[in-house]
Amino acid sequence: MTVMTKSPILTLRGVCKSYGLTEVLHDMDLDIYAGEVVALLGENGAGKSTVSNVISGTVLPSAGDMTWQGARYAPANPREAIDLGVGMIHQELLLLPNLSVAENIFVGRYPMSGGRVDRRKMEEEAYKGLDRLGLEISPRRAVEGLSTANQQLIEIAKALTLNAKLLILDEPTATLGVDETRLLFDQIDRLRSEGVGIVYISHRLEEIKKIADRIVVMRDGEKVREFDTADLPVRTIVEAMVGRPLEKMFPPLAEPAQEIVLKVQGLSAANGRFSDVNFEVKKGEIFGIAGLVGAGRTDLVRAIAGADPIGSGAVLLDGRDVTPKSPEDAIVNGIVLVPEDRKLQGLVLDHSIEENIAYSNRESVAQSGWVSRARIRDFAARNIQQFGVKGIGPQIADELSGGNQQKVVIAKWLARNPRVVLLDEPTRGIDVGARSSIYEIIYALAQQGVAVVLVSSDLEEVLGVSNRILVMAAGEQAGILDHTEANDVSVMELATR
Amino acid sequence: MNATGGTVRQKANFANIFSLRGATGPLIGLLLLCLFLTIATDSFFSLRNFLNILDQITVLGIMAVGMTFVILIGGIDLAVGSVLALSMMVLGYLNVTAGMPMAVAITGALVAAAMCGAISGLLITEFKVPAFIATLAMMSIARGLANMVTNGSQIIGFPPWFNLGAIIRHGGFLTTTVAVMLVVFVLGILYLRYRNGGRELYAIGGNPEVARLAGINVKRKTVFVYTLCSLLAGLAGILLAARLDSVQPSSGVAYELDAIAAVVIGGTSLSGGTGGVVGTLIGVLIIGVLRNGLNLLSVSPFLQAVIIGLVIALAVAAETFKHRGK
């Protein structure tokens, strides 16, 4: 390990952060060396975000010292951190869609000449930054319409034009597909070889094994383990994160019944996002849908749930044609969708948990259209308990953690006792603990004889949970694999076909 | 950020216990205002004056109930003042000029008003015209139509009993017009709080996509809400005609702004999803009591406008401040 002989570019010693009486970060020590990728791991609320916010100057530590390239380091705000060469790429991209790429890179610090913005210089500098990342994007085009991966890379280019020596990447691959992730990793490798230090936060352990040099595991605001290599079994890492030995993440699969519940026949989207998809899901079967981002997986399940218009083809339930024209049609027939984006499509964030649950169970909480508060409360409380939501009915949905919000979305649909449940990325951005309880819910559904359709970008998840896997590629059905023949190679072969 | 959830949660629960769904602040404001006017004037605190205030707020109150529905789903309706005028002119034309029975005239006026709302609603849902623009267009169209009925002149000559409905106090207490307003308020409250249809409005205002995926027919509901709002504006027009015993096409100019102000003062969020008719009732009363009190204090109408503007700004600022505190 050559890096160990050098002195670190960033050190944290005894850094603490409290909000009132709550301590969210306790006595944190951390060293980051030039030219290495350090993965910062932990469940939600473990303190990863606090660490990165302290380093990037977003929050001020309550105690402790930091040094940056040998000198004392106490950024009062993100601006100071950026000026010193510490860049943070946030999980939510902060680009302005209508401005050009170059304008986004230089926003707030446009190069001026004679009182006017020097567009030429700006575009040249932007081009240099993009070129360093090997990106072939015109600095003049608008950001709108670029893929998420490219937008992410533009954020990185922005940090690079600021001469960043340390980059903090917060869940950069959360919305990226396999190809895009590979592209990002190539760039991270390049930066690493140029001596940039990188702090990498992610929930995806498989990719951390690929990209990270070292792993720092946090739990409850403290650093609990440090591994000098990322070449570890996932299990070891997960156990360090949750602080206890794990039972197997994916229990053995049950055999589904022979009876076919859902049948999709020659289904095509009205907007052409996918075409001619055919499959059947049996009673009690967990049917995975894999594929790259943009392959049409989300569009497919949304169409089956009536959320997007269907161009041609049919959806059959128990052999009966139930092709939906609206979400209402699908719901009435017992087909429900847990959508991809829980914050934008799953929940009314500033309403309470019980109201959210009531919105999709309007008949259950009303008698001939008359709603009573008490009935809403009882109904919600039962389902909150059943699906293990950590919260109470009157609590505002926005206050819950991501995992608990997802459980509320699942609860509000499963309370209807559906026949078919379509889950779109149900564990995205959710910590390991909440994730395994969502798997438990999925298994329980299958056991009750529900037909479950699971869309996921997490290959390990699709492989571990599904009885069969439909692989989509560029809007086409590339093939259906049985779990006995499915592995990451066979799925990726089909997905990239 | 996650770890601060605990303290945030406690604060929110604390606020929930003491908040009548966001209408507490306005209610306290109203009570303070009444207290002040009771001390500052001799004539404010009397049954007679209270009944006066109720008479004065009938038109605004009914329009504000419809506006509450629209704002709850995250919309806005700028056309209600013009729709009110159109309804009045149709009423006058059918009853006085064409000599039809009052029942027919009232029905005609309400249908004309409701159609304006339905058209606004369809423009918004089917042609994706922003609500602000669609109802701005309808504001101009309805005003133009109202003027076209008589070429701009007023109509008088309603049957005598019509005007008496706004004057005679049944049981020494309630005029027919005030009774109609109270019924509208009660129905509005019941609908929003205890009907599934009303709860759906909160879902739509909170997040239309979540509402749609929950099986709510958002488009149909939106058209319904704009139609209802216009219908209520039409009803308000009929009551105004009864009060004035005449109709003229220039009635109701800028009434939409009063209605929006009352709704917003009452704590309904302009971004939709929170609020209700109880708050609006308080908002309407604040505007009514303020106007009445300022008149009793002989404040000039120009200064009155300034004060009412300040109250609107203050009420909304207080609400925003409270939210930031959370």
- Interface predicted TM-score of the whole assembly (ipTM), two decimals: 0.84
Asked if the structure places residue B17 within a domain, the reply is no
Overall number of domains in chain B: 1
- What pLDDT is attached to residue A49? 83
Residue B52 CB contacts under 8 Å (≥ 6 apart), including other chains: B292
- What pLDDT is attached to residue A199? 94
Task: Kindly tell me if the per-residue pLDDT of B240 is higher than 70.
Answer: yes
- pLDDT per residue rounded down to tens, chain A (497 residues): 444 457 889 999 999 988 776 778 889 999 999 999 999 988 766 788 889 889 998 888 999 999 999 899 999 888 888 888 898 887 766 788 888 999 888 887 788 888 888 888 888 888 888 887 777 888 899 888 887 778 888 888 888 788 889 999 988 877 677 777 887 888 889 889 989 999 998 877 778 888 999 999 988 888 988 998 878 887 788 778 777 665 556 777 788 888 999 999 999 999 888 999 999 999 999 999 998 777 899 999 999 999 999 999 999 999 999 999 999 999 999 999 999 889 889 999 999 999 999 999 998 998 888 988 889 999 999 999 998 888 889 999 988 888 889 999 999 999 999 999 999 999 887 877 788 889 999 999 999 999 999 999 888 888 889 999 999 988 899 999 998 888 877 887 788 76
Asked if the structure places residue B36 within a domain, the reply is no
**Residue numbers in B near A399 (CB within 8 A):** 5, 8-9, 12
Asked if the structure places residue B14 within a domain, the reply is no
Please give the Cα distance from A165 to B267 (Å, whole number): 49
pLDDT band at residue B130 using 50, 70 and 90 as cut-offs: very high
First to last CA, chain A: 40
Work out the average pLDDT over B189-207.
94
Work out the average pLDDT over B49-57.
94
- H-helix segments, chain B: 5-18, 24-40, 47-72, 80-92, 102-126, 131-150, 160-164, 176-194, 196-206, 208-213, 218-244, 255-265, 277-296, 301-325
Nearest Cβ partner for B210 among A19, A345, A358: A345
Work out the average pLDDT over B192-209.
94
Nearest Cβ partner for A359 among B13, B211, B274: B211
CA-nearest of B202, B179, B176, B198 to B189 is B198
Question: In which residue are the tokens 């504001």 written?
Answer: B139
Q: Which residues of A touch B (CB under 8 A)?
A: 19-20, 22, 24, 44-45, 47, 49-50, 221, 305, 307, 326-328, 331-332, 337, 339, 344-351, 355, 358-360, 362, 366, 369-372, 394-396, 399-401, 412
- What pLDDT is attached to residue A311? 94
- What pLDDT is attached to residue B14? 42
Which domain, by its residues, includes B267? 25-31+43-325
For CATH 3.40.50.300, the residue range(s) in chain A are 2-242, 260-495
Residue B32 CB contacts under 8 Å (≥ 6 apart), including other chains: none
Residue B223 sits in a domain whose CATH number is: 1.10.3470
A221-A227-A231 Cα angle (round to 5):
130
Residue B164 CB contacts under 8 Å (≥ 6 apart), including other chains: none
Cβ of A369 within 8 Å of Cβ of B13? The answer is no
DSSP A374-415: HHHHHHHHHHHHHTT-SS-TTSBGGGS-HHHHHHHHHHHHHT
Chain B: nearest CA to A431, how far in angstroms? 12
Looking at this protein, which amino acid is placed at residue B295? N
**Could you tell me the two tokens for B59?**
């038109």
- What pLDDT is attached to residue B5? 39
Higher pLDDT, B25 or B158: B158
Residue B284 CB neighbours (<10 A): 29
Which pTM was predicted? 0.78
- Counting beta carbons within 10 angstroms of the beta carbon of residue A201, is it exposed (0 to 12), middle (13 to 18) or buried (19 or more)? buried
Nearest CA in chain B to A364: B196
Chain A: nearest CA to B161, how far in angstroms? 38
Cβ of B209 within 8 Å of Cβ of A345? The answer is yes
- What pLDDT is attached to residue A249? 66
Please give the Cα distance from B236 to B66 (Å, whole number): 10
Chain B: nearest CA to A418, how far in angstroms? 13
Nearest Cβ partner for A369 among B196, B213, B217: B196
Strand partners of residue A472: A291, A477
Please give the Cα distance from B108 to B101 (Å, whole number): 11
- What pLDDT is attached to residue B9? 41
Asked if the structure places residue B5 within a domain, the reply is no
Least confidently predicted of A146-155, B29-38, B153-162, B281-290: A146-155
CATH match for A260-495 among 3.40.50.150, 3.40.50.720, 3.40.50.620, 3.40.50.300: 3.40.50.300
- What pLDDT is attached to residue B17? 37
Cβ of B8 within 8 Å of Cβ of A359? The answer is no
> Cβ distance A453 to A423 under 8 Å?
yes
Nearest CA in chain A to B192: A371
- What pLDDT is attached to residue A244? 63
> Phi/psi at B122 (nearest 5 deg)?
-70, -40
Cβ of A359 within 8 Å of Cβ of B199? The answer is yes
Q: Which percentage of chain B shows pLDDT scores above 90?
A: 79
pLDDT band at residue B12 using 50, 70 and 90 as cut-offs: very low
Instruction: Write out the CATH class of domain A2-242.
Output: alpha beta
- Counting beta carbons within 10 angstroms of the beta carbon of residue B202, is it exposed (0 to 12), middle (13 to 18) or buried (19 or more)? buried
